[in-house]
Amino acid sequence: MLPQIEAFLEVAKRQNLSRAADALFVSQPTVTVRLQTLEAELQERLFVRTRRGMRLTEAGEAFLPYAERAVQALADGRERLGELRRGSAGKLVLGAPATVSAYALPLILARFTAEHPSVRLVLKSGTSEEILELVLQDHVQVGLMLRQAGALPGGIMELDNIEAAKKMVERGLGISLVPRSAVTAELAAGALHLVDLADGAPGHREIVAVRRRDAGPPSGAVAAFMRLLTEVRAQLELGAAGGAGPRG
């Protein structure tokens, strides 16, 4: 019905079939057919012919603002889709473990929101296994998690919370392998200190972004976020130069 409404608006604006046809780049008979089709659909006569041209009937006057809003709504919808394609609007749902959320994502999301202020961000937390399941269930668009290095150290205690691990170490309950970025304040305050690792290669944890295989090529906000991850990839690698131990 859009061509009919556009024809209606042009004739209402110019009050002349010929000038309306020129504005729409169609023939005058085409405009006439579109108006007749619209009147048949609405079951109302929208124009009357006068010596001065085409004049809106009472029904045409009543329909005019709705036709204008319809065309404007379509234009707004097209603009919205363009924003989604450009990644400047929409919604981005991310999943990440607490470690990534606390120590890696703030820098990334600060830059992303600065570049895409209209995108609504949603962040879901969980273990790496839970984040992977959220990706597979299509509950998040992108999952960020720590790729296994191929070896798991033995220990007397396993914790899934870095803050809890730091508190345990501060109480003298052993040492912990944590990202250096997670203990910056404690090192500065003297609550913890670094322990050099002997006879071992420096450890590291690699953060990877995962999406469903059948999700198709990333677009919109997802594509913008993936591009940003590529640009700041080096900052996502949480290096661990040594273990953290209690001060003393």
pLDDT value of residue 239: 42
Q: Which two tokens stand for residue 116?
A: 């895409």
Q: For residues 168 and 194, what is the distance between their CA atoms, to the nearest angstrom?
A: 15
Task: Indicate if 90-246 has the same CATH topology as 2-86.
Answer: no
Per-residue pLDDT tens for 196-239?
A: 665 555 555 667 788 888 877 888 888 888 888 888 775 555 44
Q: What does the pLDDT read at residue 19?
A: 93
Which of 73, 56, 79, 77 is closest to 9 using CA atoms? 56
What is the number of H-type helices and E-type strands within the chain? 11, 9
Burial degree of 189 (CB within 10 A; 0-12, 13-18, 19+) = exposed
Residues 17 and 48: beta-carbon distance below 8 Å? no
CA–CA distance, 121 with 234 (Å, rounded to integer): 23
Q: Does the CA dihedral 201-246-175-147 come out positive or negative?
A: negative
CATH of domain 90-246: 3.40.190.10
The span from the CA of 17 to the CA of 122, in Å, is: 52
**Can you name the residues that pair with 93 across neighbouring β-strands?**
122
Report pTM: 0.46
Distance separating alpha carbons of residues 171 and 151, to the nearest angstrom: 27
First-last CA distance in the chain: 80
95-106 pLDDT, tens digit per residue, is: 988 777 777 788
Size of the chain in residues: 248
Closest CA to 130 of 117, 140, 119: 140
In whole angstroms, give the CA distance from residue 110 to residue 40: 55
What are the sequence ranges of the domains in the chain?
2-86, 90-246
Q: What span, in angstroms and rounded, lies between the C-alpha atoms of 38 and 90?
A: 35
| CATH T-level fold of 2-86 | Arc Repressor Mutant, subunit A (1.10.10)
58-86 vs 220-231: helix crossing angle, rounded to 10: 20
User: Backbone phi, then psi, for 122, in 5-degree steps?
Assistant: -130, 125
The tens-digit pLDDT sequence of the chain (248 residues) is: 889 999 999 999 999 999 999 999 999 999 999 999 999 999 999 999 888 889 999 999 999 999 999 998 888 788 777 766 766 667 888 998 877 777 778 888 888 888 888 888 888 888 888 888 888 888 888 898 876 544 444 455 556 677 777 777 777 767 777 777 777 888 888 888 777 665 555 555 667 788 888 877 888 888 888 888 888 775 555 443 334 445 44
pLDDT at 30: 94
In whole angstroms, what is the distance from residue 211 CA to residue 230 CA? Answer: 15
